[in-house]
Amino acid sequence: MENRDVKLVEEILSLKRERNAVILAHNYQLGEVQDIADFVGDSLELSQDAAKTKAEVIVFCGVQFMAETASILCPDKVVLLPDIHAGCPMADMITAESLRERKRELPDATVVCYVNSSAEVKAESDVCCTSANAVKVVESLDAEEILFVPDQYLGHYVSTKSDKKISLWPGFCPTHIRIQPQDIIKLKKEYTQAKVVVHPECRPEVIALADEVLSTGGMCRFAPKTEAKEIIVGTEMGIIHRLRKENPGKRFISVSEQAICPTMKLITLESILCSLEEMAPEVKVPEDIRLRAKAAVDKMLN
């Protein structure tokens, strides 16, 4: 670590104590951000961490919908998103108004909403899910007709595991759709003993080539358990930092140099320090929306 970074880290940690803050970081964050976090995890794990923290301030190193979920679960805490421009393009592919319209077309459908969505969209939904529990959530519902929003690929993956009638929304993750089947085929020829893990936001043709389809947290649990010494990883590249750190004896191969989520990389040590100094930008969900969105998030957590 450079001297400049050592100083930055010291300042962040001291201000964090002063503010009684906790730092949560998603598995796709820059390595140096993951390294200073109190918890690193996937969307489900981080929302559970947010729900149970005793800290007064949550510094959310991730994207907007994740900070909103923390605000939905912890209305009395200050939730900081160090760069307010850190959005999720997939979450922006659906609005509350467009969802209301679709619900009118499918009045009998139960709306299952991937957490990668705004608080307003969650407020219009019956239940939320993450990539870690989507199949379980859909299967647990006492409903045969489902409208799954906004990720068509996660929704499609769930439909291959369920007999329910699932209508899909045409949203997608611009980072995961860059991963192509040829990327995996090529690497499998090079690393013949490797296991292939991919995220369910990938295209079905990519999922068909995988040994395991897992959330980012699922990948972190799978890596130490598998006997494989080489793992081809089909998701955003940031996770490789954590996988290598926690499994020094194993080799992790990112499936594509293109698998980078630009908004996840907006959070830096500098922006974290700045947000702790200024206690901004704060993410706060308006109370009426929060209460309706919380019902959908709680249903998932329960």
Interface residues with ligand 13P (CB under 6 A) are: 27, 42-43, 116, 130-131, 173, 199, 201, 215-216
Residue 250 phi, psi (nearest 5): -115, 160
End-to-end CA distance of the chain: 42
* Angle at 275 (CA atoms; ends 272, 278), nearest 5 degrees: 150
| Site for ligand SF4 contains 90 (CB under 6 A) | yes
| Site for ligand SF4 contains 72 (CB under 6 A) | no
89 binds, among ligand SF4, ligand 13P, none (CB under 5 to 8 A by kind): ligand SF4
The two beta strands, 145-149 and 127-129, are unpaired
Nearer to ligand 13P, 8 or 66 (CB): 66
27 binds, among ligand 13P, ligand SF4, none (CB under 5 to 8 A by kind): ligand 13P
Q: How many CB atoms lie within 10 A of CB 288?
A: 9
Nearer to ligand 13P, 147 or 173 (CB): 173
| Site for ligand SF4 contains 45 (CB under 6 A) | no
**Is-contact 45 217, C-beta < 8 A?**
yes
| Site for ligand SF4 contains 173 (CB under 6 A) | yes
Strands of the 212-213 sheet, one edge to the other: 212-213, 195-198, 230-234, 251-254
Residue 97 C-beta: closest distance to ligand 13P, Å? 23
**Amino acid present at 231:** I
| Site for ligand SF4 contains 293 (CB under 6 A) | no
The verdict on whether omega for the bond into residue 204 sits within 30 degrees of 0, i.e. cis, is no
Q: How far apart are CA 196 and CA 50, in angstroms?
A: 31
Nearer to ligand SF4, 113 or 173 (CB): 173
Map the footprint of ligand SF4 across residues 198-257, applying CB under 6 A.
Answer: 201, 236
| Site for ligand SF4 contains 116 (CB under 6 A) | yes
**Contact set with ligand SF4 (CB under 6 A):** 63, 88-90, 116, 173-176, 201, 236, 261, 263-264
